[in-house]
Structure 1
Amino acid sequence: MNKKVIIYLMGWILNIEAVFMLLPCITALIYKEPSGYWFLAVMAVCGGIGIIFTRKKPENMVFFAKEGFVSVALSWIVLSFFGAMPFYLSGEIPRFEDAMFEVISGFTTTGSSILTDVESLSQCMIMWRSFTHWIGGMGVLVFILSLLPLAGGYNMYIMKAESPGPSVGKLVPRVRSTAKILYTIYLFMTVLQIILLLIGGMPLFDSLAISFGTAGTGGFGIKNSSMAFYDSYYLQGVVTVFMILFGINFNVYHLLLTRHPKEAFRCEEARAYLGIIAASVLFITFNIRGSFGSLFSAFHHAAFQVASIITTTGYSTVDFNLWPEFSKGILVALMFIGACAGSTGGGFKVSRVVILLKAVKKELGSLIHPRSVKVLKLDGKPIEHSVLRSINTFLGAYIVIFTFSVLIVSLDNFDFATNFTAVAATFNNIGPGLAGAGPLENFSKFSALSKYVMMFDMLAGRLEVFPLLLIFAPSTWKNS
């Protein structure tokens, strides 16, 4: 275990977090809010520790998968701890576990909240809360890789640990260049959404906060009624489109930019993702049409909620907890499916679902024709056995963690729908669930134990389980 390089990376994490806190500081200055002083204090601590940790670059910068996965897991914990401090020290979120829950929900782009009155927060706290979504959407270590050649060819281990999905490939030969491409696309799409929301008449502050939440597919509402506050088909429609766009694998955008449209449209995962969205919107629209004044209105809200749930964003325009059971059943299924690999969305990932369905089809074919030999393919390329193994292992770990989480949360004695969907919402980084965890509810009612369990679930869901589990394994910390 190369512990020196891990400490060095933690130093850069703290330095970057200090820089990111400039935005809420500027917000506090504009709105003349005293809460901004707490950001300055935390910035000073983060910067001080960061400078100490990075003052000398380790002589041995070589590290492998173990160090990469541990660095990513620890960085998210460190990032969340210091990110929660302004909320806690200012007294705007007085309980430490609540402050940690809120900021972990932000960085992991979950969007679940313990706040009963979002609008009571100061503007600088609301801005920081929303900005955590944007920071966590692409991953802070991916951001660092785009700026610094920290580990040469070994930094691919960081990309694999922090980028959601069953596998991560380089867009270009150098990982640093890949990180730059990802963040350039990410920034461009965010700015474009901000401009389109401004054109629709949304205030600048709101446009920034909503776009940060959409880009990171996080979904922290800055109004108590979430996106229902903006009673505009145009504004809600813009958010709907961009939620879907941010849920697509960023490799597709790179292929389109490099004039390889045939390869982009050949992406089976993207086609399946868009197909699932289209089918879900169609079914829900006709199921809920009686609840709205027109078929278009039903379609509009169905499209918004489907996009919000499958991309694990979590914004809402209506209380879908009141929809018919069939529609709610579709939404719960979408919670588990999630967005595409290589996007900012969470969940199980469409690519895993596609591969598992192909594996089931192959197995059924083998039962009928035992001597036949079929190779599983995705996008016309053979699927390696290691990918199938990792998906099966991930599924096993996913089920075990999910089951134990539901059991522990059940100690609070809420109804099954509340417990089940609360864990589903946090583990899949979605935000709202159903019943007592629905879009008009919050997570403040849960006990401290349940909150810590769901904090673990949020981190595990964002990091694809294994990086977080590795830091608890004793063998991880051995030098051999």
Structure 2
Amino acid sequence: MRWQFIARIIGILLFFLGLSMTAPLLVSLHYDDLSRDSFIRSIVITMVAGLILILLSKKQSGDDYINQKEGMTAVALAWTGIGLFGALPFYLSPEFTSFTDAFFESVSGFTTTGSSIMTTIEGTTKSLLFWRSFIQWLGGMGIIVLSLAILPFLGVGGIQLYKAEVPSPVPDKLAPRLSDSAKILWGVYAVFTLLEIIFLLGGGMPLFEAACHAFTTMPTGGFSPKNASIAHYNSAYFDYVIVVFMILAGINFSLHYQMLRGKTLAFWEDTECRFFLGLLLGLTLLVTWDLYGSVYTSIKDAFRFASFQITSILTTTGFATADYEKFPGLSQVILFVCMFIGASAGSTGGGMKCARIIACYKYCYRELFKIIHPRSISHVKINNTVIPDKVLRSIMGFLTLYIGLFIVSSLLLAGMGVDMMTALGAVAACIGNIGPGFGSVGPTENFAHLPVMGKWLLAWCMLLGRLEIYTVIILFVPEFWKK
């Protein structure tokens, strides 16, 4: 393990993080708010820390290839460091009195979870609200992927960083050069963000709020500059605009790239995309049927609020236009299940991912088929491509770890005095990078009242979910550190 090389990578990322803090500083100067000094101090501390790591770590001579072990270690440590330093603007501002709360908010932002401890959002300075949204936008496509696009001096072995970072069971490069793939992903991401801002402005939303919501929709983050989230506007137009962009964010971004290049049937030809869109439509219609008459007297309102809540939870965005804890039991169970399914692989969404759900279903069907026909030879296929057994094993291991960590974390949180529904809802929301949960952390509440150790546990769950579990949990396997 070349620790100096890893330190250099982390130093470069921290230096970039410090530079990115100049954006909210400009917002602070524009609105002349009270967070200016906290951003100046945060920029200096973060950039100096990055420079120290860069200067103390010698430039490697020869091949800068990063092996898989170094890539996973660098990504896990980098995201932890980014969460710590990204918390500085929160901690140094008057709104936060505890570093635990600042770290929780920072990690929730960068991992695009959207769980918050802030109780008076609209009373917070504009620049801090902008930073809160901006870090979700940075974390959505991944700071390391962005760095591979603009910092090619990270080395030719960056594919290991890309593999550990990109939220996909089987990440593929879109171009021969890794930096070109990263630029393509970020280009599509930026174009959709700009389009959403334009559509929200077209409906009369102020520029600042439109930018903040676009910065948190495309990464499926869910932070809002309003206490009531999207419900604040009570606008069907805003609801449907955000629903469309949440769906776009929940689809594999490589398919968007193919569509933009003229492959009009890219969505339909992809098995996972068909499954995701079909599931989204089916569950929306089911919840609409459940809400009509029992909660809403109009079928139009039932469909509007059902489509928003299902899309928000399934894509793991976490915006809210209604208190879904007041929905009938069937709708609540459907939303809870959606927290585990998640969006498509290669999207900015969290959860288990639809590709893994499909692979698991086909794997189980194959095993049942073999019981009936023990001599048969069958394969699991997605998009007419055979999924290798090693990938299937990895997927089954991931799903097992996901459920196991959910159970253990829920037990630990309950052991801290948190009620059962809140413990289950909070862990499901954080490990799935969703935001609101159930119980006392539902869509109209926040996470501020949870015990200190509970917040650190949930921050850990956010990192596990964002980095697809393996990248983090493997660091605690003794064999990982053996030569």
The question of whether the paired residues in 1 share the 8 Å contact of 2:133 and 2:223 is answered with: yes
Matching of residue 450 in structure 1 with residue 454 in structure 2: yes
> What does 1:192-211 align with in structure 2 at a 5 Å threshold?
192-211=195-214
Residues 1:263 and 1:281: Cα distance change in structure 2 (over 3 Å): closer
Deviation of 1:475 (Å): 4.9
Q: 1:80 maps to what in 2?
A: 83
Shift of residue 103, structure 1, vs aligned partner = 0.8
Asked if residue 459 in structure 1 is aligned to residue 480 in structure 2, the reply is no
More displaced 10-residue stretch of structure 1: 15-24 or 274-283: 15-24
Once the two structures are superposed, residues 93-133 of structure 1 have per-residue CA deviations (whole angstroms, 9 ceiling, x without a partner) of: 11111111111011000001111221121111111111111
One-letter code of the match for 1:45?
A: I
Q: Is the 8 A contact 2:65 2:158 kept in 1?
A: no
Say whether the 8 Å CA contact 1:219–1:314 is kept in structure 2.
yes
Is 1:345 aligned to residue 333 of structure 2?
no
Moved more, 10-19 or 269-278: 10-19
CA separation in 2, counterparts of 1:169 and 1:79?
A: 25
The SS at the match of 1:471 is helix
User: What displacement does 1:386 show?
Assistant: 1.4
Residues 1:98 and 2:101 aligned together = yes
* Structure 1 position 34 matched with structure 2 position 34: yes
Please give the alpha-carbon distance, in whole angstroms, between the structure 2 residues aligned to 1:263 and 1:133. Answer: 28
TM-score computed with the length of structure 2 as normaliser: 0.96
Deviates more, 1:41-50 or 1:212-221: 41-50
Deviations 1:285-329 (A, max 9, x none): 010012124111110111111110001000000101100000011
The reply on whether 1:364 has 2:368 as its aligned counterpart is yes
Q: Which amino acid aligns with 2:176?
A: P
Alignment of 1:228-243 (within 5 A): 228-243=231-246
Partner Cα separation in structure 1 for residue 186 and residue 229 of structure 2: 27
Could you say which residue in structure 1 is the equivalent of 2:13? Answer: 13
Q: Where has structure 1 moved over 6 Å in runs of 4 or more?
A: none
User: Post-superposition shift, 1:266?
Assistant: 1.3
Amino acid at match of 1:190: T
Give the whole-Å Cα distance in 1 for the aligned partners of 2:38 and 2:478: 37
Q: Which runs of structure 2 are paired with 1:74-223 in the superposition (5 Å)?
A: 74-223=77-226
Looking at structure 2, the residues matched to 247 and 133 of structure 1 have their Cα atoms a distance apart, in angstroms, of 15
| 8 Å CA contact 2:34, 2:125 repeated in 1 | no
Q: Distance in 2 between matches of 1:36 and 1:152?
A: 36
Q: Does 1:271 align with 2:280?
A: no
Give the whole-Å Cα distance in 2 for the aligned partners of 1:309 and 1:437.
Answer: 14
Deviates more, 1:262-271 or 1:167-176: 262-271
Q: How many residues align?
A: 479
Q: Which runs of 5+ in 1 are unaligned?
A: none
> Which aligned pairs between 1:269-418 and structure 2 lie closer than 5 A?
269-290=272-293, 291-418=295-422
How has the CA–CA distance of structure 1 residues 99 and 303 changed in structure 2, closer, same or farther, with 3 Å as cutoff? same
Is residue 51 from structure 1 mapped to residue 51 from structure 2 by the alignment?
yes
Deviates more, 1:111-120 or 1:57-66: 57-66
Partner of 2:2: 2
1:314–1:431 CA contact under 8 A, matched in 2: yes
Letter in 2 for 1:6: I
In structure 1, C-alpha distance between the alignment counterparts of 2:132 and 2:257, rounded to whole Å: 29
SS in 2 for 1:24: helix
* More deviation, 209-218/405-414: 405-414
Q: Distance in 2 between matches of 1:448 and 1:411?
A: 13
How far the C-alpha of 1:272 sits from its partner, in A, is: 0.2
TM-score under structure 1 normalisation?
0.97
Aligned partner of residue 92 in structure 2, secondary structure: helix
CA RMSD of aligned residues (A): 1.4
Q: Find the residue that maps to 2:234 and give its secondary structure.
A: coil
Long gaps (5+) in structure 2? none
Percent of aligned pairs sharing the same letter = 42
Q: Which amino acid aligns with 1:379?
A: N
